[in-house]
């Protein structure tokens, strides 16, 4: 049984204002297959906004990998890429 893909969405102030409010609706926008394979978590603060070297908010981590300037489409795309990589 393959492991779940861990998605952590930061909903701190900067992230929320820059688009996390939309990304938090991720589960509704995933296909059935993706939804079953993904474990979605939120957090009140990841702390990445404090260092500009991390890029811009909103921040999402997917299996620990940081995604800056995240959007709902590119988070879904990243998840799909991981799922596709498994199928190969």
Partner 1 sequence: MSDSSTAATFIEVGHQQLFKYSEGAGGDTFLSRKNDSDGRVISVLSDGLGSGIKAGVLSTLTATMALKFVALDIPIQRAAQIIMDTLPVCKERGISYATFTLVDIEPNSCVRIMEYDNPPYLLVRENTVVEPIKSCTRISRKNKRTGPAHEALLYYSDYRSRPGDRLIFFSDGVTQAGMGTKAFPMGWGAASVQDLILGKIAQEPDISARELALAVVQGAQQHDAYRAKDDISCAVIYFRNPRELLIMTGPPNNPEHDGEMARNFKAFPGRKIVCGGTTANILSRLLGKPVRLMLKNLDPCVPPMSTMEGADLVTEGIITLGKVAEILERGAGVGTLAGSGKFEEQAGENGATRIVDMIRDSDRIVFMVGTKINEAHQDPNMPLELEIRRNVIKKIQMLLARQYLKEVLIRYL
Site residues (vs partner 1, CB under 8 A)? 10-14, 16-18, 21, 24-25, 27, 40-45, 47, 49-50, 56-57
Q: In sequence order, which residues have a C-beta less than 8 Å from that of residue 77 and are 6 or more positions away?
A: none
- Cα angle 71, 41, 64 (rounded to 5 degrees) comes to 75
Q: Closest CB to partner 1 among 12 and 78?
A: 12
Q: Closest CB to partner 1 among 40 and 78?
A: 40
Could you tell me the smallest distance in angstroms from the CB atom of residue 43 to partner 1? 6
CB 28 within 8 A of CB 47: no
């Amino acid at each position: 049984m393959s492991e779940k893909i861990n998605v952590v969405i930061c909903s701190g102030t900067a992230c929320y204002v820059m688009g996390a409010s939309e990304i938090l609706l991720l589960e509704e926008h995933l296909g059935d297959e993706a939804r079953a394979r993904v474990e979605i978590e939120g957090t009140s603060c990841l702390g990445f906004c404090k260092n500009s070297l991390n890029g811009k908010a909103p921040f999402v981590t997917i299996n620990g990998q940081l995604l800056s300037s995240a959007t709902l489409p590119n988070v879904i795309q990243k998840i799909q890429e991981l799922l596709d990589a498994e199928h190969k």
